[in-house]
Structure 1
């Protein structure tokens, strides 16, 4: 499937900021599930190219703007050919060993409730079958309710509250999988709506490592494995590692952010 993507992030500051600095992980890498036809990131209308690869294999770039800054606009335009591989990403050539992704982080620290849910999945069936059951159990426990959590919400909090968004579903699944001894990592990217009336969105899911298959994607928010509707951008131990944009500003008072994501299927080139 050929996807054309537009992602606009518009920051505004209540008072002029003295300066803004950001690290961006907004460049998708080619893989068996996607071919990047074109991709452009602009900051205030000027192109920004990835300048390095972080320790997790993500293309990354940073920028800094001296004040006064009242507005900042980051725009992504791209076109990606996607392929349905039933969620199988495979092995990362030269990447970190899967065992690295067994270690908990502050956002994915285990809790008694998450561990009990993971243990209750049972041992019948293949590893793949058990993990599919785990995905369903996580989604059954954590309902999708927007605006109930934030980027600093830890897995245990969302689990106990029984509600959250895709980031929380991913963190709870990662925590549960690691408890079972399955390496797990966080994925950030985009989801093209499968229904015409649905909105496109930045999205998050998890990849779990299965012997014989390598890394396999699971999207507990939607109870599926990623297919041709997904664009994979960055991976990490949790949200903090794979966040599309992280930054700081000096002064400026309250910061507000408006985000517009549009994804279309078709042959029209990205501008």
Structure 2
């Protein structure tokens, strides 16, 4: 599937910026089942300083905010060709060791709730893939999807105890429980083309777990499926903090407002649907 993406992030500050530095992880990964045809990042009120690939092969752009600005706009747009590999990414690669994905992080450290959830599927350890699918369903059943009830600092244990959250929380709970079951697991951030719509509310988050014989396998806990050709992988990390699209510091700007506009379209599919309509 050929997907076109436009992602605009707009910051409006109450006062003029004195200094600001942002780390952007916005360019999709060229990886198994995914090819970046074209991609660009356009900045207003900021300028590029450097670019590099981090330990997770995320493409990172460092940008500085122009002193004195009160509005910054970061627009990413491009085209990505995807394929449906039933969520299978293949063998591990890169310099970051596989064992590092079994360690707890502040956002994924297990408490009694996560430990109980992991224990509920531990009897299926001999069939690891089936166990992970059961874990995904168990997480989704335990945590209602409810935007606005958690934030980027909410831990897996906190959202499971509360019983509500969003895709990020589903992913962290899965990762936390999988690591208790000795399964390497990582967070994935990206885009999802929702059926029947172009405008999207936000980016999406899911997980990948390592299964012997298959390699990395994706699980979209929030939608209870494995990623298909509608998904675009942008970042990966041990948790959301390492895969966040924006991190950085701004001084002198005072309180600010953030607005995001995101569209993900499949023009060829839309055209075929129109041609086949009665």
TM-score range relative to shorter protein: over 0.9
Deviations 1:135-192 (A, max 9, x none): 0000000110001111111111111110011111110110010011100101110011
Describe the SS at the equivalent of 1:29.
Answer: coil
Alpha-carbon distance in 2 for matches of 1:50, 1:127: 42
TM-score (norm 2): 0.91
Question: Structure 2: which 5+ runs fail to align?
Answer: 270-278
Aligned to 2:71: 71
Alpha-carbon distance in 1 for matches of 2:163, 2:221: 14
1:197: Cα distance to partner? 7.9
Aligned to 2:4: 4
Alpha-carbon distance in 2 for matches of 1:200, 1:266: 19
1:196: Cα distance to partner? 3.4
Aligned to 1:151: 152
Check if 1:223 corresponds to 2:227. no
1:30-179 correspondence runs (5 A): 30-44=30-44, 51-124=51-124, 126-179=127-180
**Mapped contact 1:7–1:259 kept (Cα < 8 A):** yes
Q: Which moved more, 1:37-46 or 1:17-26?
A: 37-46
Aligned to 2:18: 18
TM-score (norm 1): 0.94
Check if 1:242 corresponds to 2:251. no
Query: Structure 1 49/187 Cα, relative in aligned 2: closer, same or farther at 3 Å?
Result: farther
**Mapped contact 2:20–2:249 kept (Cα < 8 A):** yes
Query: Structure 1 39/49 Cα, relative in aligned 2: closer, same or farther at 3 Å?
Result: farther
Describe the SS at the equivalent of 2:159.
Answer: helix
Query: Structure 1 197/21 Cα, relative in aligned 2: closer, same or farther at 3 Å?
Result: closer
Query: Structure 1 78/50 Cα, relative in aligned 2: closer, same or farther at 3 Å?
Result: farther
Deviations 1:102-143 (A, max 9, x none): 011111110111111111114236210110000000000011
Alpha-carbon distance in 2 for matches of 1:4, 1:198: 12
Across the two proteins, how many residue pairs are aligned to each other? 268
Alpha-carbon distance in 2 for matches of 1:199, 1:183: 30
Query: Structure 1 249/90 Cα, relative in aligned 2: closer, same or farther at 3 Å?
Result: same
Aligned to 1:201: 202
